[in-house]
Amino acid sequence: MDKTRPIIIIKKKGGHGGHHGGAWKVAYADFVTAMMALFIVLWLMNSSKQIQVAIGGYFKDPTGTAKKVGSNMAGTGDNFTLNRENMPKLKEQLQQAIRQMTDFEKLKTHIEMTITSEGLRIELSESATGTFFDSGSPKLNEDGRRLLATLAQELGKLPNKISIEGHTDAKPYTASATYGNWELSSDRANAARRVMQAAGIRADQVTQVRGFADQHLRKQDAPLDPSNRRISLIVQYIVKNEDDEEKPAAASEQKGEPKKENAAPATAPEKPAGKP
């Protein structure tokens, strides 16, 4: 008996391509990314040098902390570069540190902080009986040492440069004295520098120590007023030169005044009579 052969039907699909998945989306995304990178490069080539350097600096140092140096002194402040934008932050930080001093109520009227074209100016003014220095002497008293040490611990965290100035009132020494207001103002500024460097600021942080005698009175209409006797600390801004490198702004350049020099002796002689 013949067996019936099975009928086999073969169906062939047409030549239309099937679904290829999402590979094309990946390729398209790569193309769009490459085009965006091209446009960014073209934009950078036509931008200013300042923008080019700033963007290049970000890729070299994304955290922005490479140039923020400090000291090994303990304190409550954060390291940051002092510029015109964050100047109020430093002022507030210093004020908070000073308020922690035990004699703050006694000293607060003799401490003044102002933001100027040079940077942050901190002025420590004297009273009739002496507030930070012994009367007529470049020797700092205990209050002056504590205050300068407190400031040094905070300022030593900054990369900014510092200028220190000494000022006196207009009362002259006796005519026969070999020591006068020029020497006193210079010696007081140097005394402040020594205390601050011992307490926290770096040796290379102080760029100028200047004595002005009575040439820059705080109260022009009262040249004998005790507040004319003062120490000024100037925390200079960070500015950029042509190569966009951060450098401190010199006080004399900001003011447009020539730098003043004096030939004060390294060691003060004994206190002469005739100066309060």
Q: In this structure, is residue 7 part of a structural domain?
A: no
Are 46 and 177 contained in the same domain? no
* The pLDDT of residue 34: 92
Residue 78 forms part of a structural domain: no
Contact, 110 vs 124, CB < 8 A?
Answer: yes
What 8-state DSSP symbol labels residue 234? E
Give whichever of 16-20, 140-144, 271-275 has the largest mean pLDDT.
Answer: 140-144
In this structure, the answer to whether residues 238 and 143 fall within a common structural domain is yes
Same domain, 241 and 138: yes
Coil, helix or strand at residue 232: strand
Query: Does one domain contain both 46 and 136?
Result: no
Q: Can you give the residue range of the structural domain that contains 138?
A: 87-255
Q: Is the pTM of this model over 0.75?
A: no
CATH code for the domain in which residue 140 is found: 3.30.1330.60
Q: What pLDDT is recorded for position 9? A: 75
- DSSP character string of 150-213: HHHHHHTTS---EEEEEE--SPPPPTT-S--HHHHHHHHHHHHHHHHHHHT--TTTEEEEEE-T
pLDDT (tens digit, 9 = 90+) per residue, 196-205? Answer: 999 999 989 9
Residue 202 lies in a domain: yes
Whether residue 67 is contained in a domain is answered as no
Whether 41 is in a domain gets the answer: yes
Q: Are residues 96 and 229 in the same domain?
A: yes
Structure tokens at 124: 């420590």
- 226 and 177 together in one domain: yes
Pick the more confident residue, 114 or 60: 114
Domain total in the chain = 2
Do 92 and 192 share a structural domain?
A: yes
76 located within any domain: no
Checking if the pLDDT of 72 tops 60, the result is no
Report CA dihedral (183, 188, 193, 198) to the nearest 10 degrees. Answer: 120
* Strands 238-240, 246-248: pairing kind: antiparallel
Cα separation of 74 and 149, whole Å? 12
28 and 92 together in one domain: no
The answer as to whether 137 is a domain residue is yes
Find the range with the poorest average confidence among 12-16, 33-37, 69-73.
Answer: 69-73
Cα separations (Å) of 27 from 31, 33, 37, 41, 226? 6, 10, 15, 21, 79
Residue 152 pLDDT exceeds 80: yes
pLDDT at residue 263 in the model? 40
Q: 3-class secondary structure for 109-168?
A: HHEEEEECCCEEEEEEECCCCCCCECCCCCCECHHHHHHHHHHHHHHCCCCCCEEEEEEC
236: phi then psi, degrees, rounded to nearest 5: -80, 150
72 is a domain residue: no
Q: For the chain, how are helix, strand and coil distributed in percent, rounded to 5?
A: 35, 15, 50
- Is it the case that residue 267 has pLDDT exceeding 90? no
Higher pLDDT, 103 or 195: 195
pLDDT at 52 over 50: yes
pLDDT over 70 at 241, yes or no: no
